[in-house]
Amino acid sequence: MFGLNLKHQRLSVLLALSLLFLSQSCNGEVKKRVCLGTNSKFVKLGTTEEHYSLLKEMYSYCEVVLGNLEITHLQPHHDPSFLKEIKEVGGYVLISDNAVKSIPLVNLRIIRGNNLYKNSALYISSNFDEKDNAHGLEMLPMRQLQEILQGGVTIARNPRLCNLDTIKWKDIVHSDNHIDIKKDSLSHCMCL
């Protein structure tokens, strides 16, 4: 019986070392492929800088978000490029209360909508600096987005966001779900 336990221990250690080796790149840096996501809604997790650091740590190298992708409280000096790798979200995508110019979800292909926020799988709202409106979300590159499986789309109170009318939402959202887009762009919005 002792030999059997030793054999299982060796296999366990070997398996653990193999998994550790597979999760690291050549330079020893751990690459995160799957992440849990959040369920915080609009809550800022600490100071603005701490919140940004937590988002960056959580979503860097992440390709699949099992839960919700909540991007909130990003300021103009924050670099949101850590979001570029995300391809799939299991829950909803909430983009709100940001003053950053662009949120590059350039590889996002599918939003499953297993969880919804106000019946929406994609909810984009209030992305501007309320103090002076000098900063805010202008670009939301999601060129790869092909499908939202459950839930609708709500986009409101984004006065600097351009090019909403260039997206064929009816091709992405299933017909039994809502598409609620309020166009409140500023007149000086320089859309290409």
Domain covering 31-181 assigned CATH 3.80.20.20 in the classification: yes
Question: Where do the domains of the chain lie?
Answer: 31-181
| Residue 82 DSSP SS3 | helix
Token pair, residue 82, equals 């850590």
Report pLDDT for 125: 95
Q: What is the pLDDT of residues 107-137, one digit of tens each?
A: 999 999 999 999 999 999 999 988 877 899 9
Distance between CA atoms of residues 125 and 123, nearest Å: 6
pLDDT of residue 29: 57
- Does the pLDDT at position 23 exceed 70? no
- Give Cα 1 to chain centroid, integer Å: 50
Q: Torsion over CA of 9, 12, 17 and 19, rounded to 10 degrees? A: 180
Instruction: Measure CA 174 to chain center.
Output: 21
**DSSP one-letter code for 68:** B
The tokens describing 56, both together, are 């960056």
Residue 105, C-beta contacts closer than 8 angstroms, at least 6 positions apart: 83, 84, 86, 93, 140, 141, 142, 145
pLDDT band at 79; cut points 50, 70, 90: very high
Q: What percent of the chain has pLDDT over 90?
A: 64
Q: Hey, what are 155's tokens?
A: 């986009």
The answer to whether 30 and 24 have CB atoms below 8 angstroms apart is: yes
For the chain, the maximum distance between any two Cα atoms, rounded to a whole number of angstroms, is 79
d(CA 185, CA 149): 28
Coil, helix or strand for 23?
A: coil
Burial level of 132, CB count in 10 A (0-12/13-18/19+)?
exposed
Res 165: pLDDT: 75
Q: Which of 75, 63, 73, 129 is nearest to 100 (CA)?
A: 75
Mean per-residue pLDDT, 21-34: 56
Average pLDDT value for residue range 20-29? 48
Q: What predicted TM-score, i.e. pTM, was given to this entire model?
A: 0.80
Predicted pLDDT of residue 132? 76
